[in-house]
């Protein structure tokens, strides 16, 4: 057995722990399960929103078991996803702070064995408590006549989610220097990755919705949980079931559980790369440059796959997608839909480029170390993939990948009869391309010139302070200073690109001539500042290295 798992069992499953945790798990599971079961099996009246009549559902133990399933799943999620994740994050950070992680780092075990040990050893008690809920689950599936295959799919996704959450917590514990910070960052990361990002699925970026157990639960299990004698799913259930059906991906569609499994595996792989590097040497950046490029390439591929149907046929999933979907709206406003979806595409791409450059670009000391090492090894330059190598090529490659994806979108828009695109593909791509390249270059230069804190300070001052200022000016003097407001907004890439898209399609929005002019001026202003900054910082960086 893995020594770290064995350590976890020894530490957390001594006889008194076993007794206490078994009592806790059995009492709560029995209470939750039995109350839901007994409530569900009784005769009840349901309102049918279609026929607008009341329906009598007779007493039936099958209904009881089906009613209890969701509650039991919730309790199991609480044990492994909530308690288990918290345990992994806090203990990893604590061991790192105390130096216990250093002992483990020095052992000759393979880094993946160490990661496995931490993932399954630290929450050993939570897994034990989960095991004790299985008899209830078995009763539920047998009595409730739930389809075994769907249950198997759901629990495969459930465990993959658990591993994903635990791995996220472990990696954050390894990466973030202080335990208190690690605890906060892990909470924010779990919220961001598994609650905020899946929300973007409602805006057509469907792949982000498949990081949780929800698609499989709603898409696979929900219909099997309807009561015997009930004609239809409830209004909410029907909507949820419809949303979590097969995922459009390029010209095909994939089942929600397969897609969830695929997405989670991808994220697990990403986190494993980071954990592996951090276990080998905690001074290494979380990603190497080639792995960062590969991950970004996969990310762009997923964006392309999910938005393909939108650009070719005008189809999108989710609430926003539904309202923008051309065939559902009698009077479509295609340009607004285009701007929103493309803005989301750019926003997400920039928000991924930013941390990747921060992680992969070396600071001055690391660069110096690389120079000295390559001198020692008689190399003319630091090797391309080395962590010590300047991130300039990576910045260019990341922006090139984004431009390439956008170019494909632009070509799809141009080729599709749906959009009646007024502009050629190149017209919408050139300015964003220039902007993305210059932005990536100034981000890379600032990261390499200044340390982590300086970099984030620079981003805060350049991107977010002008946005906040524009808000104040807009509230106070909106009509008088529209030019200034737009210029301030154009300094932030997250608002400049939507402004550019509005400027390109301004004739379709019946905007005043003045405002159209102001938007164009703001776009050029933002672009000029970005290019000037990239030139200035690149020059400064090169001079500092001579």
Per CB under 8 A, residues contacting another protein are 3-4, 6-7, 10-12, 98-100, 102-109, 280-283, 365, 368-369, 372, 451
Q: What's the min distance (Å) between Cβ of 453 and another protein?
A: 10
Core vs surface per residue 278-297: b (16+ CB within 10 A) or e: bbeeeeebbbbbebbbebbe
Q: What's the min distance (Å) between Cβ of 124 and another protein?
A: 12
Nearer to another protein, 98 or 351 (CB): 98
Nearer to another protein, 44 or 282 (CB): 282
Q: What's the min distance (Å) between Cβ of 98 and another protein?
A: 4
Cα–Cα distance, 496 to 504 (Å, whole number): 12
Q: What's the min distance (Å) between Cβ of 393 and another protein?
A: 23
Structure tokens belonging to residue 147: 């389809």
- Rounded to the nearest 10 degrees, how much is the dihedral formed by the CA atoms of 98, 102, 105, 107? -110
Nearer to another protein, 14 or 180 (CB): 14
Nearer to another protein, 326 or 386 (CB): 386
Q: What's the min distance (Å) between Cβ of 382 and another protein?
A: 14
Structure tokens belonging to residue 360: 């992969």
Contact 175, 219 (CB under 8 A): no
Say which residue the tokens 């977010």 belong to. Answer: 464
What three-state secondary structure class fits 423?
coil
Q: What's the min distance (Å) between Cβ of 522 and another protein?
A: 38
Nearer to another protein, 6 or 178 (CB): 6
Nearer to another protein, 100 or 269 (CB): 100
Nearer to another protein, 369 or 520 (CB): 369
Closest CA to 352 of 306, 415, 287: 287
Q: Is 121 exposed, middle or buried, given 0-12, 13-18 or 19+ CB atoms closer than 10 A? A: buried
Q: Is 55 exposed, middle or buried, given 0-12, 13-18 or 19+ CB atoms closer than 10 A? A: middle
Q: What's the min distance (Å) between Cβ of 107 and another protein?
A: 4
Q: What's the min distance (Å) between Cβ of 108 and another protein?
A: 5
- Beta bridge partners, 252, equal 249
Closest CA to 398 of 363, 447, 365, 364: 447
Q: What's the min distance (Å) between Cβ of 280 and another protein?
A: 8
Biggest CA–CA distance in the chain, Å, is: 85
Nearer to another protein, 1 or 50 (CB): 1
Reported as type and span, the H/E element at residue 55 is strand 53-57
Query: Count of CB atoms within 10 A of residue 7's CB?
Result: 17
Cα–Cα distance, 305 to 311 (Å, whole number): 11
Nearer to another protein, 56 or 453 (CB): 453
Structure tokens belonging to residue 319: 């609430």
Cα–Cα distance, 26 to 36 (Å, whole number): 15
């Amino acid at each position: 057995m893995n020594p770290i798992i064995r350590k976890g069992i020894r530490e957390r499953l001594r006889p008194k722990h076993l007794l206490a945790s078994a009592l806790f798990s059995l009492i709560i599971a029995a209470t939750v399960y039995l109350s839901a079961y007994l409530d569900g099996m009784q005769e009840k009246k349901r309102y049918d929103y279609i026929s607008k009549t009341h329906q009598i559902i007779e007493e039936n133990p099958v209904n009881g078991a089906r009613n209890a399933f969701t509650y039991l799943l919730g309790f199991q999620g609480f044990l492994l996803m909530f308690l288990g994740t918290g345990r992994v994050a806090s203990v990893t950070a604590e061991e790192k702070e105390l130096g216990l992680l250093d002992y483990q780092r020095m052992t000759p075990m393979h880094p993946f064995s160490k990661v496995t040990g931490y993932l399954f050893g630290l929450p050993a008690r939570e897994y034990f408590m989960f095991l004790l809920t299985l008899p209830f689950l078995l009763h539920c599936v047998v009595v409730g006549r739930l389809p075994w295959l769907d249950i198997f799919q759901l629990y495969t996704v459930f465990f993959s989610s658990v591993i994903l959450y635990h791995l996220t917590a472990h990696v954050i514990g390894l990466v973030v220097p202080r335990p208190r910070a690690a605890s906060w960052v892990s909470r924010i990361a779990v919220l961001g990755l598994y609650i905020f990002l899946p929300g973007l699925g409602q805006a057509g970026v469907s792949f982000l919705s498949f990081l949780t157990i929800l698609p499989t639960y709603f898409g696979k299990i929900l219909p099997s949980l309807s009561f015997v004698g009930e004609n239809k799913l409830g209004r909410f259930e029907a909507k949820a079931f419809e949303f979590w059906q097969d995922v459009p991906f390029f010209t095909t569609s994939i089942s929600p559980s397969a897609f969830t499994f695929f997405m989670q595996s991808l994220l697990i792989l990403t986190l494993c790369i980071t954990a592996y590097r951090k276990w080998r040497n905690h001074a290494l950046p979380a990603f190497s440059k080639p792995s960062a490029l590969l991950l970004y390439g996969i990310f762009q591929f997923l964006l392309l796959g999910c938005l393909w149907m939108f650009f070719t046929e005008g189809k999108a999933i989710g609430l926003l997608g539904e309202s923008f979907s051309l065939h559902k709206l009698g009077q479509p406003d295609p340009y607004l839909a285009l701007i929103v979806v493309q803005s989301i595409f750019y926003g997400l791409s920039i928000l991924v480029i930013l941390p990747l450059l921060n992680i992969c670009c070396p600071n001055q000391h690391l660069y110096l170390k690389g120079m000295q090492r390559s001198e020692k090894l008689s190399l003319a330059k630091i090797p391309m993939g080395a962590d010590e190598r300047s991130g300039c090529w990576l910045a260019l490659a990341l922006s090139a990948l984004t431009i390439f994806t956008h170019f494909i979108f632009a070509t799809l828009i141009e080729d599709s009869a749906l959009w009646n695109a007024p502009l050629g593909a190149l017209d919408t791509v050139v300015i964003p391309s220039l902007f993305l390249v210059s932005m990536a270059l100034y981000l890379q230069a600032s990261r390499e010139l200044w340390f982590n804190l300086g970099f984030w300070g620079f981003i805060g001052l350049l991107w977010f302070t002008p946005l906040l200022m524009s808000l104040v000016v807009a509230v106070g003097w909106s009509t008088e200073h529209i030019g200034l407001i737009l210029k301030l907004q154009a300094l932030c890439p997250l608002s400049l690109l939507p402004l550019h898209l509005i400027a390109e399609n301004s004739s379709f929005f019946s905007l005043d001539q003045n405002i159209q002019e102001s938007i164009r001026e703001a776009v050029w202003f933002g672009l000029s500042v970005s290019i000037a900054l990239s030139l200035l910082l690149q020059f400064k960086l090169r001079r500092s290295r001579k």
